[in-house]
Amino acid sequence: MSKTHFGFETVDEQEKSRRVAGVFSSVAQKYDVMNDLMSMGLHRLWKKFAIDLAAPRPGERVLDVAGGTADLSSAFARLVGPTGQVWLTDINNAMITVGRDRLLDEGVLAPVAQCDAEKLPFPDNHFDIVTVAFGLRNMTHKDKALEEMRRVLRPGGRLLVLEFSKVWKPLEKAYDAYSFKLLPWLGQKIAGDADSYRYLAESIRMHPDQATLKAMMEQAGLERVEVFNMTAGVVALHRGYKF
């Protein structure tokens, strides 16, 4: 059985999938409030930047991979309008249920599918835009997931990967203190779950840095890959095209 990482631990691949599912099933109900608290609202700006760079046009088809509670799907649905289509997808039932309910509450008619990013149930060359926000880090075979996202893009389509990344060196110490002390404490206080937020901090440290992820996207066949750092590299947006 092949090994992989779950945070700082080395585990069997199946064990990783099981534990990632445990994390998101545990945090789903408090996910949105924790996001606002942990990032002091910044995740809204990071996501807005990703949407701006995706530059959706009315009538376009968008796939939101690992879309969770539907922040991106909700915004995209308004921008592509009634002639476009946005699919909310995620592997986790608890997360996607929160997302689906939210879209229904907002009156957004978007199809929802529970699926693994590594085996997307969509035809080749179908979407104008594919996005994955804060999801790639949790996937076992990131290379496979990137290849799948490229496969379902139409030629000329763009893939946007929004993810935590490598912070600017002078800020590392302060960021570590925040991540390994404050985050688990907040997780315990608000969601009654310190471990999931410890995993969050560890998984960020194990995720490929800006240059490595860019190379992985190119390896998966994406072209003209650009990297945009935000908040001193706490988060990076990678945009690549399929031609």
Q: How many Cβ atoms are within 10 Å of 231's Cβ, its own excluded? A: 17
E-state strands within the chain? 3-6, 9-12, 61-65, 85-90, 112-114, 127-133, 153-164, 223-230, 235-241
Nearer to ligand SAM, 92 or 179 (CB): 92
Determine contact, residues 64/70, Cβ cutoff 8 Å.
yes
Q: Of 6, 7, 24, 160, which lies in the binding site for ligand SAM, with binding defined by CB under 6 A?
A: 24
Least distance (Å) between residue 198 CB and ligand SAM: 14
| Residue type at position 152 | V
Q: Which stretch binds ligand SAM (CB under 6 A): 50-58, 67-75, 152-160, 205-213?
A: 67-75
Nearer to ligand SAM, 85 or 89 (CB): 89
In angstroms, rounded to a whole number, what is the distance separating the alpha carbons of residues 186 and 55?
35
Nearer to ligand SAM, 99 or 240 (CB): 99
- Residue nearest ligand SAM by beta-carbon distance: 68
Per-residue tokens: 128: 């104008």
Ranges within 110-169 binding ligand SAM (CB under 6 A)? 116-118, 133-135, 138-139
Least distance (Å) between residue 159 CB and ligand SAM: 14
Q: Decide: helix, strand or coil at residue 55.
A: coil
Ranges within 204-233 binding ligand SAM (CB under 6 A)? none
* Binding pattern for the stretch 88-117 against ligand SAM, x by CB under 6 A and - elsewhere: --xxx--x--------------------xx
Q: What backbone phi and psi angles, to 5 degrees, belong to 127? A: -105, 150
Q: How many Cβ atoms are within 10 Å of 33's Cβ, its own excluded? A: 11
Nearer to ligand SAM, 145 or 222 (CB): 145
Q: How many Cβ atoms are within 10 Å of 235's Cβ, its own excluded? A: 25
Residues that bind ligand SAM (CB under 6 A): 20, 24, 66-69, 71, 90-92, 95, 116-118, 133-135, 138-139
